[in-house]
Amino acid sequence: MMVKVKQSFEVKDCALAAIATGKHAENLKELRNIIVTIQPSSLYYHFWGQLLRPRFDDPEYNNDFAIWARHALHDGILAERLGMLDPVEFPDLEDLRRELVDIIEEHLDDSEIVPWCHTDQQYHFITSQIVVFNTNKTIERPRELVKAVPSMTRSSVFYHFIDARRRTFGNMDDFSAWLYGFNNRYVDLCNLLSTVDPFFSTLSELRQQLTDLFTGYFGE
Amino acid sequence: MTGILERYSEIVGWDVIDQLHQLAATLKGIKVVHVNSTRRGGGVAEILAKLVPLKQELGIDAKWEVIEGNEEFYTCTKNFHNALQGNKVTIPDSLLRIYEETVASNTAALETTLTGADIVFIHDPQPLPLLKLLPERKGKWIWRCHIDVSRPYRPVWKYIRSLVEGYDASIFSLSAFAQPLPHTEYLISPSIDPLSEKNIELDAGEVQEIISGFGIDQGRPIMLQVSRFDRFKDPVGVIQAFRLTKKFVPNLQLVLAGGEATDDPESTAVLKEVRLASNNDNDIHILLLPADAHRKINALQRSADIVMQKSTREGFGLTVTEAMWKGKPVIGGDTGGIRIQVVNHHTGFLVKAPEGAALRARYLLFHRNRLKEMGEKAKQFVLDNFLLTRHLREYLTVMVSLLHGRGERITLE
């Protein structure tokens, strides 16, 4: 069956505006209480936003809660538990929030004192606004991904491969959503894409992984 | 493309510049005005001198206006500055009246520009009362606070807050600086300009000439701290760290470079303590440099083997950024913005005491490969995160955010 001509893939880019929420915690119980009520966009920022803001490319932990547990509370066990949280497994931020609260409550239950920090190491809850804009670049055929992906900015990779999971039906990345439109011709490629875990890579590494994957698939 | 952005593209890459153009496309033609109180001297003027032309090059109708005042006005605003940073400064009502009257006297000259602007950025406390003096304004007004207001002196903050509350938004440098206010508080980290005199590449000959001019021997290892003579920067602690390190590296020299002590009594007292602590050691160079000695600071940072910023309290610490940009790992106090920049064991070391600083200095001086490797990581970290182009992108993002509503997501077509 002939493939119906698909819409071209519009390459977009994004930028985050970080916004203070005014909420901060000095101990683990306060942290837990704020997490229960904080807006989902703040959770999103503290798990995913770190990819788009100043950070070192080889962080010890991949989310802000684990980093705070280690460096402000000096609680290595909690840091390791929180550090294992992979938001990819929780497409719904409410599920992620529940898991986060469970880990903290379990730790509080096991603690004789409430872990606390110095006042200059408070946990500051931040939220963000994402601004999406056009790059005026389009991809007409899947094969063009081989050359297009390496020239995408890191934030563009973030938008299409990570942020997409909050926007698309089935919580998939934009490349897969586009490729599925070609009458199942690229299902195997979509399956390969689904094996890429974006959370434990930097955006530069992720861009390279995707480049390698598309290059390997299209044999170029 | 021609102009300043092209020069930045040689450092940050075309993709970063393209991104600025794409983001600015929807802001083309809007009128933006920045207002501060000086055109020369100080970090804010340095940033505006570059940011405004860059915005213009991106098609934004950007202007930079300056308010003027007399000595009493600046005494009052200096007191604001100190109080917002936590010093217990009492400001008499008479000085506050002079402050308000001075800003009012600037209003007529600025009225047309400011009331017609789509976005007005008011930098620091000096021009704050302009908002209330111009009720016919049409655009969004933002207070850009460059000061560490994490623990302000409350009576003064209460007064400043009454002026800030009417703004549409404010911008702070770190989340720890944000204060409870009835509007959106954006967070934008400071940056350095890689093309400024302080950060531009220098040839080895010029570095050698400047260093020799200070009587420093470039053939021997150099430990450097660039900062004001301020107790929070712990210059005496640096001398202690130097002495502890020198036991193992006998030919080590220390350079403490800071601004001249002028009318700041505390700075004079600290400088006296530093001189006392140095005990006329010929290997300790205490340099008092004028505010515009950017190239000299640049040369000192490039010639240093070990860069310290052993602060016990620090806002952001742009001297850390500057040193890292020159490929130097930094041994910094475990505080404030230094924590964001110095990734322990990767781009430098975080320390709490002179002993810790000495331990790390000794380690780096005996592991030159590691020093080089950490320096390279430090430079890359600044390239990715703390250059002016990132700062500009975040300003553009905030402008889009202000003009397109408060939703979690803004999609520009």
Express each pLDDT in B164-194 by its tens digit: 999 999 999 999 999 999 999 999 999 999 9
A15: nearest CB among B178, B187, B397: B397
Sequence-ordered strand ranges (E) for chain A? 9-25, 123-139
Chain A CA closest to residue B378: A56
Number of Cβ atoms within 10 Å of the Cβ of B207: 18
Average pLDDT over residues B326-352: 94
Interchain proximity B22–A20, CB inside 8 Å: no
Q: Hey, is the C-beta of A147 within 8 angstroms of any chain B C-beta? A: no
- In the 8-state DSSP scheme, what is residue B212? H
What number of H helices and E strands is found in chain B?
16, 13
CA distance A80 to chain B (A): 18
Interchain proximity A20–B187, CB inside 8 Å: yes
A contact test, residue of B164, B316, B380, B384 with most A CBs within 10 A = B384
pLDDT grade for A3, boundaries at 50, 70 and 90: very low
CA distance A58 to chain B (A): 9
Q: Hey, is the C-beta of A42 within 8 angstroms of any chain B C-beta? A: no
Residue type, B104: A
* pLDDT at residue B262, rounded to an integer: 52
Interchain proximity B397–A17, CB inside 8 Å: yes
pLDDT one-digit tens code per residue, B107-128 = 999 999 999 999 999 999 999 9
In angstroms, the CA B226 to CA B211 distance is: 14
Interchain proximity B409–A129, CB inside 8 Å: yes
* Cβ atoms B220, B251 nearer than 8 A: yes
> Strand, coil or helix: what is B349?
strand
In angstroms, the CA B127 to CA B160 distance is: 11
CA distance B118 to chain A (A): 19
Interchain proximity A15–B26, CB inside 8 Å: no
Number of Cβ atoms within 10 Å of the Cβ of A200: 11
- Domain boundaries, given as residue ranges, for chain B: 4-191+388-403, 204-385
Cβ–Cβ pairs < 8 A, chains A and B:
100
Interchain proximity B410–A155, CB inside 8 Å: no
Domain covering B204-385 in this structure, CATH number: 3.40.50.2000
* Cβ atoms B117, B139 nearer than 8 A: yes
In angstroms, the CA B374 to CA B380 distance is: 10
B346: nearest CB among A19, A58, A135: A58
User: Does the domain formed by B4-191+388-403 have CATH 3.40.50.2000?
Assistant: yes
* pLDDT at residue A2, rounded to an integer: 41
* pLDDT at residue A61, rounded to an integer: 85
Q: Which residues of A touch B377 (CB under 8 A)?
A: 56
CA distance A55 to chain B (A): 8
Sequence-ordered strand ranges (E) for B80-183? 119-123, 140-144, 169-172
- In degrees rounded to 5, what are phi and psi of residue A131? -105, 120
Question: Fold identical between B4-191+388-403 and B204-385?
Answer: yes
Statement: residue A207 has pLDDT above 60: yes
Residue type, B382: V
- Domain boundaries, given as residue ranges, for chain A: 14-127, 137-218
Paired with B146 in beta bridges are: none
Statement: residue A57 has pLDDT above 60: no
Interchain proximity B19–A13, CB inside 8 Å: yes
pTM: 0.91
In angstroms, the CA B12 to CA B68 distance is: 36
* pLDDT at residue A1, rounded to an integer: 39
